[in-house]
Amino acid sequence: MSKLHRIRPSGWLDQFPAALRHVSLVRLVASVGAGGVLYLTPIVFHQEAFSAQAVTQGLALAALAGTLGRLLSGALVDRGLACSIPVLLAAVAIVLGDLRLAGTSSFAGYVQGQLMLGVAAGLYWPAIELAVPLGCSSGPAPIPSARGYALARSADAAGIATGALVGALLAAAGRLRGIYLVDSISALVLVVLLLRQPLPNPEPSATAAAAKTPWRHWLPPLLPVLAISLLATSLPVLMQSALPLDLVRGGLERAAMPESLGALLVGIQLGLLVLIQWPVGQALARRPIAHGLGLSLACFAAGTVLLAFSALTRQGLWLVLLAQLPLALGAAAFLPIATEAVIELSPPEHRGLAMALFSQCFALSALAAPLLAGLALDAQRHAGGFWIGMTLLCLAGLNLVRRLKPRQAAQA
């Protein structure tokens, strides 16, 4: 081999195992496609004169399909199925769902497309999350899985922000349904990546021991993390749904603001998340999981209390803008550390199912949080009371953080 071929490009990514870098690349590609679809599908079908109830019904059915897909994916991975198989099946479902949504104006077609995308999300998440610690332990120089999740979540954040930006550009050009073409292309690139290099697989010894740890022994210690996750994952959802509506309606003293401002705030928070996800994840990877989850809840509490007080002043917009920093910091602290907490609190032979339960929190919060916020906003003229309620829930969640007891084997 020539000297030229032995030269290897240097950079900060070289500190990570090759398998983990591949997992992060797969997540980046998948997130680029999902970014536009995630944020702009409701607008696509709002333009088709769908009612808000019809749009949310499709989202609810997608969440239900995702629930079933997550449980199936997690259970199969625990039984020894290669992590690449659910992700490849998810890519197929993405393309089918995108084709249906891109070419339909009917409610039936919308529901069919949403069901396919829901199944895709359910199959994708448990397998791709479990691939991170497997990638961290591969190669001659293993690294802690917390550092691996910092890299993987940074890839997610960068991909989602890129996809949302591409979707915004397509909307400005009058080609909003082009988001489904971008999503399909991302899915096809994902297939090529996995066919060239599969994701790392669980050790056979772990799947052989699947009957050794009864669920009543490993599930109860996981419940506090699941409860914290259900609360924490609702905050980003509320920033996309309740906050824009709150701004349009106005507060006690804060004047009503244009609808475009809500989209701008979502963009600001996504941009902040891209900037801080990696340094925050890296810093917290060296600390116990309780530190990261506690910081996340404290930041969410600070952000929501600023939103509550913004309703009480005519200069409330500045408090809303200020709130974006602790809210982004809370998300950056939560995303990698909560996933690491699931790894530490679950036995290796049940981590697929544990990841499935964890990812269910995202689906449930995406379904329930906007509905509860809508009821609260309809019950009063402003959202100040609702944001104070979220602040109190985040502070109460700190008690759950104290109950976390990582498994000794994971800590070692």
Q: Which of 290, 330, 338 is nearest to 306 (CA)?
A: 330
pLDDT in tens, 33-90: 998 888 778 878 877 877 766 777 787 788 888 888 888 988 888 888 899 999 999 9
d(CA 88, CA 123): 9
Helix axes 52-78, 351-379, angle to 10 degrees: 160
Q: Is 398 exposed, middle or buried (0-12, 13-18, 19+ CB in 10 A)?
A: middle
Whether the predicted pLDDT of 196 surpasses 90? yes
Whether the predicted pLDDT of 407 surpasses 70? no
pLDDT in tens, 100-145: 999 999 999 999 999 999 999 999 999 999 899 999 887 677 788 8
Q: Which of 32-36, 183-187, 290-294, 348-352 has the lowest mean pLDDT?
A: 348-352
Q: Which of 171-175, 249-253, 323-327 has the lowest mean pLDDT?
A: 249-253
d(CA 219, CA 223): 7
User: CA 357, 361, 366, 367 torsion: positive or negative?
Assistant: positive
**Confidence class for position 12, pLDDT limits 50, 70, 90:** low
pLDDT in tens, 216-242: 777 888 899 999 999 999 998 888 767
3-state secondary structure the chain: CCHHHHCCCCCHHHHCCHHHHHHHHHHHHHHHHHHHHHHHHHHHHHCCCCCHHHHHHHHHHHHHHHHHHHHHHHHHHHCCCCCHHHHHHHHHHHHHHHHHHHCCCCHHHHHHHHHHHHHHHHHHHHHHHHHHHHHHCCCCCCCCHHHHHHHHHHHHHHHHHHHHHHHHHHHHCCCCCHHHHHHHHHHHHHHHHHHHCCCCCCCHHHHHCCCCCCHHHHHHHHHHHHHHHHHHCHHHHHHHCHHHHHHHHCCCCCCCCCHHHHHHHHHHHHHHHHHHHHHHHHHHHCCCHHHHHHHHHHHHHHHHHHHHHHCCCCCHHHHHHHHHHHHHHHHHHHHHHHHHHHHHHCCHHHHHHHHHHHHHHHHHHHHHHHHHHHHHHHHCCCCHHHHHHHHHHHHHHHHHHCCCCCCHHHHC
Residue 137 CB-half CA count within 13 A: 13
Q: For residues 228 and 352, is the Cβ–Cβ distance under 8 A?
A: no
Predicted pLDDT at 2: 42
Mean pLDDT of the chain: 84
d(CA 394, CA 229): 11
Whether the predicted pLDDT of 168 surpasses 50? yes
Whether the predicted pLDDT of 15 surpasses 70? yes
User: CA 173, 158, 67, 201 torsion: positive or negative?
Assistant: positive
Predicted pLDDT at 260: 59
pLDDT in tens, 247-273: 777 767 777 766 556 666 767 777 888
Whether the predicted pLDDT of 13 surpasses 90? no
Find the Cα–Cα–Cα–Cα dihedral 85, 90, 92, 93, rounded to 10°.
140
- Straight-line distance from the first to the last Cα atom of the chain, in angstroms, rounded to the nearest whole number: 40
Predicted pLDDT at 3: 44
Whether the predicted pLDDT of 409 surpasses 90? no
Instruction: Write down the pTM of the prediction.
Output: 0.80
pLDDT in tens, 360-391: 888 888 778 877 887 777 777 777 788 999 99
Q: For residues 356 and 74, is the Cβ–Cβ distance under 8 A?
A: yes
d(CA 146, CA 289): 9
